[in-house]
Structure 1
Amino acid sequence: MPATIRDVAKAAGVTIGTVSRALNNYSDVNCHTRERILRVAQELGYRPNQMARSLSSKHSKNIALVLSGFLEDTMLNDFETMLMKGIYQFAFEHGIDIAMYVINSRTQKEKSYEQLCYEHNIAGAILFGLKTNDPYCEALAASHRPCVTIDTEVRGPCISNVTLDDVTAFDELTQYLIDRGHRKIVLVHGRKNAMVSMERLVGAYQAFTRNGLTLTHDSIIYTNFLREEAVAGVGAYFRTHTPDSATAFLCMSDMLAIGTIEALKSLGYRVPDDYSVVGYDGLEVANYTDPKITTVDQNIKEKGYEAAHLLYDMLNGIRPAQKLVLPHTLVERESVKNLSELSN
């Protein structure tokens, strides 16, 4: 016999009304009580009638793609598009459906990860866009549902991570500029509390230190990975610095590199004749800018494909939770001037 709401209430040690209010996300239910009720309901296999009618047994292992901050970008970002292509390519090849849910830091506080999974019958999820201080990072660590995070590493027994060695890759990109005679390098930084930003910053510091250079706070332009913030940041930099204070801009993403080039052109400068610019990501659009942007290609589509593959294997007991580090490639194009050749 299917579990009833009365069974859930009894097992959770609460009233039927409390169970109903918890499942309908009423704010007057304590978060710990809500989590306990959701856990008990899941263990008993309880589903509200309206959900039971819409779900069949063949959908007992629903897979979700959860994107955090997706709607906060003011323009279409190739990164998410390429990532989704990889994820849905795997889904297509294996005949599985993956539903997409869009969240942000605020909605994570309003609806817990466990509740999101319970309401949509999610057995496992791929998560992208999480910040290190997001509520879901803590919730994932305590969850028993298999999940795969992309880039942001969260530790837990059921959590896998697909990522790049951002420290090594950004070290290599920084060294590329230094090897071409650039000593006055401005860093165009991404979101401060994003793990990828922290790791890329470490890579930059490593390369600077190894070459006897110092990366000062005055030489860092902070953004939230938004192109328009790079445009504004570069403009603000030159209002307080002389033109000879920099020869190159080291950007933490291709979109930031595009914004940097846009700002330099608006100020009457040429790339790479006056200033060199490098990006990071390997977005297709970086091959169509003027000039084409030298970048680190992290093969975003493969990252999405492997994330879906790993979650699928976890759900089917083929692979345990693990960290998967994918290779990167430095792609040399037209946006860097070799100052070493000029000095010889």
Structure 2
Amino acid sequence: MNIKTIAKMSGVSVSTVSKIINNYPDISEETRTKVLRIMEEIGYRPSLNTKSTTFRKSKMVGVVFAGKLNVDFTHPFFVDVINAFKKQIGLLGYDLLFFSNEKFLDGGEDYLARCRHFQVDGCIIIAGDEVESSVYDLDQSEIPCVGVDIKLSEKNSAFIMSDNEKISSKVVEHFYLNGYRDIGFLGIDRYSEVTSTREKAFINSLQNFGLAYRKDWFVYSQDFREEDGYQAVKQLTDRTDQLPQAIFAVTDLLAFGAIRALKEKGYRVPQDVAVIGCDDIDACRYTDPPLTTVKQDKQKIGRLAALMLFDLMNKQMDVKRIMVEPELVIRQSCGGSGIWSSANPITQSS
């Protein structure tokens, strides 16, 4: 049995059958239904080298760690997300297929072709920085996709991320409630949609509370590692003795580096400079002092991503985006009682 036989039985051309198998859109619904019904009746299945995933379920989900920088199995945020995703999607009966991007960063990457080749039923895309253009080919394809920290917008796609604007607004609110008025920022010196959103929301929140935006207190690291945060804040302490009362670092790893640089210069945390990070990775509990941070619910993000993808693959989903509420986790690196109330007493840090 081959597509010539299918074409003859259906009364259409071989090219029309091929287009239906490969899920091309320029076929009438009536013709598509007729050909699919005949293929189902005679038990025809496309061969493994076809692009289509329409007729056989592989029960396989592709995993793409997108971006030229910042995403791998050592990243403490993304590894927790993918572990939660793996457990939930496994309970739903799917296995994972991880796609490497190391050989495709020169502009020749093609995730879509590889997803079609392996006939994955869907794909989760976990995004870092400088995302490859091939990722957006996946977004525009017939393959259901869910993005984590990347906004996918096409009809077979959805995305999930923490509410990054609320992350920054909660940080500024906590600083304000606890008497901090001179506030700095530690970001990264290349474009990242997530960190850019946090920075813009941070500046807006400063303005909403009537606090000064001091550009000289905004410092940027080369990457997201602890060492990068250390180098960025070390440069700040080297060039000025007038430091902010508090610093918001866009990730916990950067916050760890900031604390090390401050302590090396003789500043006490939080008595001289308070520090808040973001992510709430496990190591936050064990730093000296333990790090106040904004928790991204990694378990919830991973589980929701799995459920969203399952619904997309089974055409049961209308929701296209989910923003997960962040939570401030108060420890010792930022002074104050941590009571979220307008009645919270304002105490100036020393």
**TM-score, length-normalised on structure 1?**
0.79
What does residue 166 of structure 2 align with? Answer: 168
The code of the aligned residue for 1:230 comes to G
Asked if structure 1 preserves the Cα contact closer than 8 Å seen for 2:66 and 2:126, the reply is yes
Structure 1 residue 180, shift from structure 2 partner: 1.6
**Residue-pair matches, total:** 310
Q: Aligned in 2, Cα 1:124/1:198: closer, same or farther, shift over 3 Å?
A: same
Asked if structure 2 preserves the Cα contact closer than 8 Å seen for 1:188 and 1:221, the reply is yes
Q: Distance in 2 between matches of 1:232 and 1:343?
A: 25
Asked if structure 2 preserves the Cα contact closer than 8 Å seen for 1:131 and 1:194, the reply is yes
Given the alignment, which residue of 93, 96, 99 partners 1:95?
A: 93
Q: Distance in 2 between matches of 1:133 and 1:323?
A: 19
User: Is the partner of 1:213 in helix, strand or coil?
Assistant: coil
Structure 1 residue 308, shift from structure 2 partner: 1.0
What does residue 226 of structure 1 align with? Answer: 225
Structure 1 residue 221, shift from structure 2 partner: 1.5
1:136 to 2:134 alignment:
yes
Q: Aligned in 2, Cα 1:75/1:143: closer, same or farther, shift over 3 Å?
A: closer
Alpha-carbon deviations, 1:156-206, whole Å to 9, x = none? Answer: 111101112110221111221122222221201146422211221122012
Structure 1 residue 265, shift from structure 2 partner: 2.1
Asked if structure 2 preserves the Cα contact closer than 8 Å seen for 1:130 and 1:137, the reply is no
Q: How does 1:121-200 map to 2 (within 5 A)?
A: 121-131=119-129, 134-190=132-188, 192-200=190-198
Q: How does 1:21-100 map to 2 (within 5 A)?
A: 42-43=22-23, 45=46, 47-48=48-49, 60-69=58-67, 72=70, 76-100=74-98
What does residue 113 of structure 2 align with? Answer: 115
Q: Aligned in 2, Cα 1:76/1:213: closer, same or farther, shift over 3 Å?
A: same
Alpha-carbon deviations, 1:239-270, whole Å to 9, x = none? Answer: 2121x331111111111111111222222322
Asked if structure 1 preserves the Cα contact closer than 8 Å seen for 2:145 and 2:157, the reply is yes
What does residue 281 of structure 1 align with? Answer: 279
Q: Aligned in 2, Cα 1:276/1:3: closer, same or farther, shift over 3 Å?
A: farther
Structure 1 residue 291, shift from structure 2 partner: 1.0
Alpha-carbon deviations, 1:136-165, whole Å to 9, x = none? Answer: 353244222110001221221111011121
Structure 1 residue 314, shift from structure 2 partner: 0.9
Gaps of 5+ in 1: 13-36
Q: Distance in 2 between matches of 1:227 and 1:11?
A: 56
Q: Distance in 2 between matches of 1:2 and 1:191?
A: 56
Asked if structure 1 preserves the Cα contact closer than 8 Å seen for 2:64 and 2:123, the reply is yes
What does residue 239 of structure 1 align with? Answer: 238
Q: Distance in 2 between matches of 1:336 and 1:188?
A: 15
Mean Cα deviation higher: 120-129 or 65-74: 65-74
Structure 1 residue 315, shift from structure 2 partner: 0.5
Q: How does 1:193-208 map to 2 (within 5 A)?
A: 193-208=191-206
Q: Distance in 1 between matches of 2:309 and 2:348?
A: 51
Q: Distance in 1 between matches of 2:211 and 2:265?
A: 27
1:211 to 2:209 alignment:
yes
Structure 1 residue 102, shift from structure 2 partner: 3.4
CA RMSD of aligned residues (A): 3.3
What does residue 341 of structure 1 align with? Answer: 347
Residue identity (%): 22
Q: Distance in 2 between matches of 1:317 and 1:74?
A: 30
Asked if structure 2 preserves the Cα contact closer than 8 Å seen for 1:41 and 1:47, the reply is no
Mean Cα deviation higher: 229-238 or 118-127: 118-127
Asked if structure 1 preserves the Cα contact closer than 8 Å seen for 2:144 and 2:156, the reply is yes
What does residue 298 of structure 1 align with? Answer: 296
Gaps of 5+ in 2: 8-13, 25-45, 337-344
Asked if structure 1 preserves the Cα contact closer than 8 Å seen for 2:294 and 2:326, the reply is yes
Asked if structure 2 preserves the Cα contact closer than 8 Å seen for 1:256 and 1:279, the reply is yes
What does residue 43 of structure 2 align with? Answer: none
Q: Distance in 1 between matches of 2:130 and 2:57?
A: 32
What does residue 268 of structure 1 align with? Answer: 266
